[in-house]
Structure 1
Amino acid sequence: MARENHPAAGRAGLIVNPRSGRGSGKGLALAERLKRAPGVMLGVLDRFEEIGAVLDGMARGGVTDLFISSGDGTIQEILTRIAEDRLFASPPRLGLLPHGTTNLSARDLGFRARSVEAQAQFIESLAASDLQQRHTIRCANPGDGRIRHGMFVGTGAVALATRYCQQAFNARGVRGQWAVAGTLLTALRKYLLSAPDAADESRFDRPHAITVEAGGRRLCEGPQLLQMSTTLDRLVLDARPFWGGKTAPIRTTVFPYPVPSVARWMLPAMYGGEGRRMPSGAVSFCAEALSVSSDTIFVIDGEFFPPPPGEPLRLETGPLFTFVRG
């Protein structure tokens, strides 16, 4: 983490997705507060498809610090556009405002001040900042053919649980850590109260054919519970399910099937140290790039896509972004 003053020539921009957070209104309140602020460019999205045009306008307007009021899906789309379309001469610094339904990236890298007034004052002044730098993960060949950049990619149980969380909790207005906790409790209840059933598609704890390769080595293959890769330091519920030391930008963990004892391994898996001991078949490593073959959908920052037909998904280290923490 560094602390610095932004150059005097800096210019702030704010993108608001008012539908994030089930209409919490925080993004619109911030935009209203800043609408007369000199030098601040505003982009309120009437439609998600407007992101490209809004970013193009901000790039031409000289925005150097881009603040995003949204959930993870909008952030992922903005990261992808900046990385792939190269609209900006150099990537703007990003301020992630946790105004969305899910805020995995913002919990780890987001702006610390929670009040709209504090956020507005910072955006107006571009004062001295605490910064974090982090690479994206570039999904090079998704099954729908659209390259994506994000901070978290997974398949197997983690993708199914994310979809369930959105349908069962987010759709009813339950957000953030409460929705994640509810999803985890649902999975644990079924695991503890009923025998494993690989054919029961309502369960998260069923086998998925997953093969992971990196650095010319096959690290796992066959039935697995889940695979997840990230450049974040902490995930939902502040979990750090990675071990063995961070030696490259992308951290990946695979948990095996059959599922090891949850009572024995859940807390060490989520919160153990880098030297933790884990059950046989559990794999954790770092890499610049890896490939993942799966028969299940993938999730990237809360958005879903199918696996590429007939080949593994290639995950690559994306550009290095700087995040403004306030």
Structure 2
Amino acid sequence: MAERAAQLAGAQGIEVIRATDSAEIAAAMDLLLDRRQQKIFILSGDGTVQAVVDRLVSLPADVPQPQLLVLGGGRSNVTAGDLGGRGDVLSKLETALQRWRDGAALGVEVRHVLRIEQPPAPARHGFFLAAGLVDYAIRTCHSDREKGSGTLRAGSAATLWSLLKLVLPAMLGQYKPPLDDLRIEVPGRKVLAKPARLLIVTTLQKRQGLFNPYAEEGLGALRFTAVGARGMGFWARLPLIVTGRFTRDMDVRHGYLSGRCDALRVLRLSSYTLDGEEFDIDPARPVTIRAGSRLTFLTL
């Protein structure tokens, strides 16, 4: 796919920059920013988008921000999917290039980034943070892929296979993943009766498809869900959580806290993934997650 995308761009006389690691991504962004590039098309997975975003929000206020078209070239493509860049990405790239050549306008959407603060460490930025059970599941999938190259390790069914191996024993009570006991503090909201074992936070809108695991409650740029419920009660309600159908009894007293806010505070957090990238941190220091800078994205 990458080669075909490069051919499509090259046919329009557009420079193609390939970057395969963090150093190359940083160098590519520095080059484009030095040129004051106004539009950047990105074909990549979520981790690369996170690295690009982290670089952009570090720019001085007087440096113009480029507009980004994000097309999913990775495995999950959560960010691209929220911005209409998942599916037949080569066709979408061809359409975007055609519009650019013809001088036709692309759609524009603005998103806040997540800003994750744990002083004195530098803040990190991205779009989807997972902690607790979801973080553990993502790391399990990563670990399984590193162990081999077969269909169930690296193929299209690899993620589903890894999750089934994790979820089924957990549902049957045969395995308890080692998870942080998190305290989640959201201004104006009650605290969970039990420590949270699952936390997801995003600034993405999740307006497409059934996956929308957030309650429509409160105001703010962040969408979050924290769950302290355990056992079969949690697993039985998981389809409701995933689709955002929180019932009246899914409240803080029963271990559920979800909705919108502008910032939240997390205590006793030792690890999380941000757009699929793994981070291990000091659980003795609180973490604040808030809405950060606003970036402009191009859409089809």
Establish whether TM, by shorter chain, passes 0.5. Answer: yes
Q: Which residue of 2 aligns with 1:30?
A: 5
Q: Map 1:1-326 to 2 at 5 A.
A: 26-35=1-10, 37-38=12-13, 40-45=14-19, 47-86=21-60, 89-111=63-85, 114-116=88-90, 118-123=92-97, 125-126=99-100, 127-141=104-118, 145-169=121-145, 172-175=153-156, 178-195=157-174, 203-204=176-177, 207-215=179-187, 219-220=191-192, 223-234=195-206, 238-245=210-217, 247-262=219-234, 264-273=236-245, 277-278=249-250, 280-308=254-282, 310-326=284-300
Provide the C-alpha distance between the structure 2 equivalents of 1:119 and 1:154, rounded to a whole number of angstroms: 30
Structure 1 residues 19-75: Cα deviation after superposition (integer angstroms, max 9, x where no partner) = xxxxxxx2232123323534x343212543022221122123232221111111111
Unmatched runs of 5 consecutive residues or more in structure 1: 1-25, 198-202
User: Which SS does the other structure have where 1:219 is aligned?
Assistant: coil
Superposed displacement of residue 300, structure 1: 0.5
User: Which SS does the other structure have where 1:243 is aligned?
Assistant: coil
User: Which SS does the other structure have where 2:238 is aligned?
Assistant: helix
Superposed displacement of residue 216, structure 1: 7.0
Conserved 8 A contact 2:269-2:287: no
Shift of the 246–114 alpha-carbon distance from structure 1 to 2, 3 Å rule, reads farther
Conserved 8 A contact 1:240-1:271: yes
Q: Give the superposed CA RMSD.
A: 3.0
Aligned residue pairs total: 290
TM-score by length of 1: 0.77
User: Which SS does the other structure have where 1:90 is aligned?
Assistant: coil
Provide the C-alpha distance between the structure 1 equivalents of 2:269 and 2:54, rounded to a whole number of angstroms: 25
Shift of the 84–283 alpha-carbon distance from structure 1 to 2, 3 Å rule, reads same
Unmatched runs of 5 consecutive residues or more in structure 2: none
Q: Percent identity?
A: 25
Provide the C-alpha distance between the structure 2 equivalents of 1:311 and 1:323, rounded to a whole number of angstroms: 34
